[in-house]
Amino acid sequence: MSFFRRFSSSNKEKTRDRSQSRNRSEILSGVQQWPYYRDLAIESGHCTIPSELASLRYSRLNRSLYNLVYTPNDELNYFILYMESCSLSSYLKFILDVHVFEKLTRESQTKNTDQQTSALALFHRYLSIDANYLIPIDDEIRRTTLSLICPSNNSTTPDPHCFRTAREYAWSLIEQDAYPGYLSSAYHVNYQLKMLTSNELQLHDILYNNSSLAYFIEFSEQEKFIDLVRFWLAIEHFYQSTINRMIDSQTLTENALNIYEQYISLQASARLGFDDAIRARVECSICQPEIDAGPSSDTFDQTAWIVYVILQREYFPRFLQSVIFYRHISDLMLKLRNEDTALTSRPIKTIESDTTSINSDNLIQTSSSPLLPTTTTTTQSNRQRNPSVSSSCPSINQDVGIKSKGKFSMGYIDPLGRFIRDPDVDTYDSALSSNRKTTSNPIQFIANLVRNEQEELAQEEAAARFAESFINEITNMTANLDNQ
């Protein structure tokens, strides 16, 4: 403690006058103004807080490629559609099939002969020269993979990692070329709109997605809680620097002290109002007995958890009802509109239009001709036998042929969640006035408002009201489809 006081004594005189002049409204804006703060302070001292924070450090609006492919989520369907539109679906399905093959091999659920048969089926489906869904790998990789599947010692047990080199090659191609294109495509924008208009959206989805975070920061400045957001961003940067060891221990200590002196200490310029016990705990974590040790990664975990809960409870619901949030949705809809012409100019294939992914069923029950790829007869069976998509996640293709009822009964919902009019009503629509055409298009309506949003505040509020009604309408329609 003495080292900490000695280090910060030079700043006390500079900030004393400023702290004394702080008015009462600023003092009441601290975290202790909330009646549940005492409970938060007690709960935040538990040892499980670091793991709970770790589970929040991601955004479903901006998944990594690994999480997109290997963790259960409903965004994978959108990525598969994008890969098919680029004629690259064989790369992704090869990776998914190899993942299932390696999982079953590790669990030893199949006999050695069945494992080799399944490996050969995968090889002739994707890697052989005459493969139906050829992955353009080098001949050396092809020979090495085949030798690992069929060892020269007449063994029927293939190497469990026989496809590793070929899989890494396909993964690198997706990571370098396809995935960046997907993030800027209409498919990804459609998924983001689906998440933003659903009831599943959480604060961490906004905080860890740069585009959404910009709108949340704007809202926090407007509602005067920007210091809480800046504190969260500062300690998140400190956490990443600590676990990645991007800087040395001395610099980490200096950064931790800067955060403490700006937000936590009694003389802080943007004091958040943590109690004495929490301040003392942070001080002890920063001032380790070993000078070279530096602060630990959980130095600010207790304060981070308290701030996150306050943001989640008090400000996040208001953000979801704000004009700024509806402008965020409007901007994404405008981006989607700009992509719409290129997207609709080419036919969109369904996920089942390509070869099916193999699973435990077709790995064990291989036909008498194992060199030929296994095909499926129905869309429903393929959907059940696709191990890459969680059974709890809704499939896009389940909604393709469903006609909605009620207000939008004169059309249907396409694979990207857009309303498409039936051709039968084109003649009827042509008889309507041009005014109705312009006002019946919500994207065009919002686009016109966004272009002129800086002219009058009334137009911005009108856009917010229209977007809110549009979102509620789509949400109700989706609920009706799920009930059916």
- At 457, the pLDDT band (50, 70, 90 cuts) reads low
Question: 66-80, 115-129, 247-261, 450-464 — which is least confidently predicted?
Answer: 450-464
Domain residue spans in the chain? Answer: 25-58+202-336, 65-190
Report the pLDDT value the prediction gives residue 260, as an integer from 0 to 100. 92
* 224 Rama sector, left if φ>0, alpha if ψ -120 to 50, beta otherwise: left
- Does residue 369 register a pLDDT over 80? no
pLDDT at 386: 38
The domain defined by 25-58+202-336 folds into Regulator of G-protein Signalling 4; domain 2 (1.10.167)
Which of 45-54, 94-103, 457-466 is most confident?
Answer: 94-103
Segment 137-147 mean pLDDT: 90
Q: What is the pLDDT of residue 380?
A: 39
Q: Which long-range contacts link 1-9 to residues 24+ away (Cβ below 8 Å)?
A: 1/283, 1/284, 1/287, 3/287, 4/283, 4/286, 4/287, 7/257, 8/257, 8/261, 8/265
Residue 454 predicted with pLDDT over 70:
no
Mean pLDDT on 179-187 = 93
pLDDT per position as a tens digit, 324-349? 999 999 999 998 888 765 555 544 44
The residue-averaged pLDDT of 77-87 equals: 92
Report how far apart, in Å, the C-alpha atoms of 385 and of each of 133, 352, 395, 431 are. 19, 11, 13, 48
Identify the weakest region by mean pLDDT among 39-48, 267-276, 344-353, 416-425. 344-353
Average pLDDT over residues 163-190: 93
Whole-angstrom distance between the N-terminal and C-terminal Cα of the chain?
65
Of 484 and 82, which is predicted with more confidence? 82
Which residue type sits at 358?
I
pLDDT over threshold 50, residue 378 = no
**Does 1.10.150.80 match the CATH number of domain 65-190?**
no
- Contact status, residue 80 vs residue 351, Cβ threshold 8 Å: yes
pLDDT tens per residue across span 202-224: 999 999 999 999 999 999 999 99
Question: Mean pLDDT over residues 170-192, rounded?
Answer: 93
Identical fold between 25-58+202-336 and 65-190: yes
Angle at 224 between CA 50 and CA 306, to 5 degrees: 20
Of 311 and 367, more confident: 311
Residue 175: per-residue pLDDT: 94
Query: What's the pTM value of the predicted model, to 2 decimals?
Result: 0.65
Phi, psi (rounded to 5 degrees) for 432: -80, 160
Residue 34 CA to residue 271 CA, distance in Å, equals 15
| Residue 420: φ, ψ to 5° | -115, 125
- Report CA 239 to chain centroid distance, whole Å: 20
Please report which confidence band the pLDDT of residue 50 belongs to, taking 50, 70 and 90 as the band edges. confident
- What pLDDT digit, counting tens, does each position of 230-278 carry? 999 999 999 988 888 777 888 888 899 999 999 998 888 888 988 888 8
Q: Check pLDDT > 50 for residue 396.
A: no
pLDDT for the residue 43: 82
Q: Which residues have a Cβ under 8 Å from the Cβ of 415 and sit 6 or more positions away? A: 81, 348, 350, 396, 397, 399, 400
**Do residues 166 and 141 touch, judged by C-beta distance below 8 A?**
yes
Assess contact for 223 and 318: CB atoms under 8 A.
Answer: yes
